[in-house]
């Protein structure tokens, strides 16, 4: 499946089970939460809490293609790593978004993980 097909799939599959969304977020930034079962938002740290908030409030989150879809969940992650996480100041945020290998790996993993959740739905 090519990127365009994966993106289309993510934008078409609604998140019905919030537990799956919580597990998705935890797998990306707090994987220890799901070692003992399903992740709970009450156990989320700062990163996971912000990503969950982004699902509902990030720019574009209310668009039909993003509103409670796996595309919206993925975008919440990328918004966090591109605009909220890391160093302070626009230049430093750009560095984090464009150059920092850790953020790029997390975003790449978030995309593939979202595709897995969408395909399983």
- Per-residue confidence at 84, pLDDT binned at 50, 70, 90? confident
CA distance 16 to 81: 25
pLDDT-based confidence at residue 93 (cuts at 50, 70, 90): low
Give the domain range for residue 7: 3-35+42-120
For 42-51, write each residue's pLDDT tens digit: 999 999 999 9
Cα(51)–Cα(76) distance, integer angstroms: 6
**What per-residue confidence (pLDDT) applies to 88?**
64
* Total number of domains in the chain: 1
pLDDT of residue 8: 97
Distance (Å, rounded) from C-alpha 111 to C-alpha 77?
9
pLDDT (tens digit, 9 = 90+) per residue, 3-43?
999 999 999 999 999 999 999 999 999 999 998 889 999 99
* Rounded Cα–Cα distance for residues 121 and 113 (Å): 13
């Amino acid at each position: 499946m090519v990127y365009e097909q994966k993106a289309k799939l993510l934008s078409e599959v609604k998140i019905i089970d919030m537990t799956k969304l919580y597990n998705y977020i935890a797998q990306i930034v707090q994987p220890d939460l799901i070692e003992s079962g399903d992740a709970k938002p009450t156990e989320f740290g700062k990163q996971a809490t912000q990503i969950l908030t982004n699902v509902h409030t990030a720019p574009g989150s209310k668009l039909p293609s993003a509103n409670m879809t796996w595309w919206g969940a993925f975008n919440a992650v990328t918004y966090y790593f591109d605009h909220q996480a890391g160093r302070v100041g626009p230049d430093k945020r750009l560095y984090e978004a464009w150059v920092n290998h850790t953020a790029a790996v997390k975003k790449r993993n978030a995309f593939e993980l979202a595709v897995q959740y969408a395909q399983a739905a």
